[in-house]
Amino acid sequence: MAILECKNLCLAYDGKMVLEGVNFSLQAGNYLCVVGENGSGKSTLIKGLLGLKAPDSGSILYGEGLKSTEIGYLPQQTQLQRDFPASVGEVVLSGCLNSLGGRLHYNAADKALARMNMERMGIEDLAKQSYQALSGGQQQRVLLARALCATKKMLLLDEPVTGLDPIATGEMYNLIKLVNLCDDITVIMVSHDIHEAVRYATHILHLGQRQLFFGTAAEYRESDLARRFLGGNRI
């Protein structure tokens, strides 16, 4: 059974269609990269998948017991967060928000989960450090650790390497792939960086206000669309 299935999904703002005809399904452990130019509907699709925007028609179905609030989401960073006075520990722990349920405060299990995910991301030494003093790459690791606290099954990453230097970018891609392979967590990543997308992802979804392509990364490489999108260079 698919962990995520979009059937004829259409999303609109104020009656204006932003994205239509989206049909794809993912199995647990897939690594999907969503590509497309600005305004192609990538951000709208994210809102739909997170349950923040209701489909105008069609449907989004989650399988294997996944709920939309149990997706580990890594949003794009805003300036507000970059200089927010918070410790790394506080930020990572806030990923356990969706397991609070009726409780008011985090318990020992939440704190243990936060610690484990910090170790997973290699940032356990930074727990007491100030988030705003970290480098861009470290901040993204913190946010990835937070996203992992929120999910056991699926990560949704919105442009996770924007603004990172090449070394930090490579490390981030490797960490994401590692989580995908070792923990069997399904990854959906929105990216501008098509070359890297094809290298790491198992599946590609190409949007341009509608679905232009969905298939495996290997199929995508052979497609005319990929050739055009990449400016004639084969990858």
Partner 1 sequence: MTEILHMLSYHFMQRALIVGVLVSLCAALLGVSLVLKRYSMIGDGLSHVGFGALAIASALHLAPLAVAVPVVVVTAVLLLRLSESSRVKGDAAIALISSSALAIGVISVSVTTGMNTEVSNYMFGSILSLSRSDAVLSVLLSVAVLVLFILFYPRLFAVTFDESFARATGTRAGSYNMLLAVLTAITVVLGMRMMGALLISSLIIFPALSAMRVCRSFRAVILCAAAISVLCFLIGAVASYFLETPTGASIVVANLLCFAGFSLAGMKN
Calpha distance 210→29 (Å, rounded): 25
Q: Characterise 72 by phi-psi region: left (phi > 0), alpha (psi -120 to 50), beta (else).
A: beta
CB of 219 to partner 1, least distance (A): 30
Mapping DSSP to helix (H, G, I), strand (E, B) and coil, where does residue 199 land? Answer: helix
Calpha distance 198→217 (Å, rounded): 6
Contact between 45 and partner 1 per CB under 8 A: no
- Residue (123 or 204) nearer to partner 1, CB: 123
Contact between 1 and partner 1 per CB under 8 A: no
Contact between 162 and partner 1 per CB under 8 A: no
Calpha distance 152→69 (Å, rounded): 12
Specify the stretch interacting with partner 1 by CB under 8 A; choose among 5-13, 88-96, 171-179, 215-223: 88-96
Among residues 61, 109, 112, 133, the one that binds partner 1 under rule CB under 8 A: 133
Calpha distance 177→173 (Å, rounded): 6
Contact between 106 and partner 1 per CB under 8 A: yes
Query: Does residue 156 contact residue 60 with C-beta atoms inside 8 Å?
Result: no
Query: Does residue 205 contact residue 34 with C-beta atoms inside 8 Å?
Result: yes
Among residues 105, 108, 224, 233, the one that binds partner 1 under rule CB under 8 A: 105
- Residue (105 or 228) nearer to partner 1, CB: 105
Chain contacts with partner 1 (rule: CB under 8 A): 50-52, 68-71, 73, 75, 80-81, 84-87, 90-91, 93-95, 97-98, 100, 104-106, 129-130, 132-133, 146, 150, 156
